[in-house]
C-alpha cells in the first residue's frame, strides 16, 4: 500500500467516523480533499465518488460501504458499482 492510498483511506475513515468531516465532505469535498495528500486520479475518484475506481486502487470495501450508505446508495447498487457493472 502506497502512502497516497493511505491518505485516501484516511480521508474515507474520517468521513465515515466524524460527523463534521462527513458534513464537510457532503458540502464540498474539493475543499476537504486539500487536507489530504492525494494523487490526481485519487482526487478524481473521490470527487466523482467512483466506487469502482477507488476499489481498484486498493481502498478497502469496509471504508467504501459506509460512504455509499451515507450517500443513499442501496447495497445492491453499491456492489454493482464495486464490480464496475452499474445497475
Task: Please tell me the predicted confidence (pLDDT) of residue 50.
Answer: 95
Residues in Cβ contact with 10 at an 8 Å cutoff, skipping those fewer than 6 apart = 36
77 lies in which domain range? 3-83
- Name which of 59, 84, 87 is nearest 73 in CA terms: 87
Total structural domains within the chain = 1
Task: Please tell me the predicted confidence (pLDDT) of residue 57.
Answer: 94
CATH number, position 79:
1.10.700.10
State if pTM tops 0.85.
Answer: yes
Task: Please tell me the predicted confidence (pLDDT) of residue 87.
Answer: 66
pLDDT in tens, 23-71: 999 999 999 999 999 999 999 999 999 999 999 999 999 999 999 999 9
Amino acid at each position: 500500500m502506497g502512502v497516497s492510498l493511505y491518505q485516501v483511506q484516511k480521508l474515507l475513515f474520517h468521513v465515515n467516523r466524524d460527523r463534521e468531516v462527513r458534513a464537510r465532505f457532503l458540502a464540498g469535498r474539493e475543499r476537504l480533499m486539500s487536507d489530504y495528500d492525494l494523487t490526481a486520479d485519487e482526487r478524481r475518484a473521490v470527487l466523482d465518488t467512483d466506487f469502482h475506481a477507488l476499489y481498484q486502487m486498493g481502498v478497502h470495501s469496509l471504508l467504501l460501504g459506509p460512504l455509499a450508505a451515507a450517500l443513499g446508495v442501496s447495497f445492491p447498487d453499491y456492489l454493482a458499482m464495486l464490480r464496475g457493472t452499474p445497475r
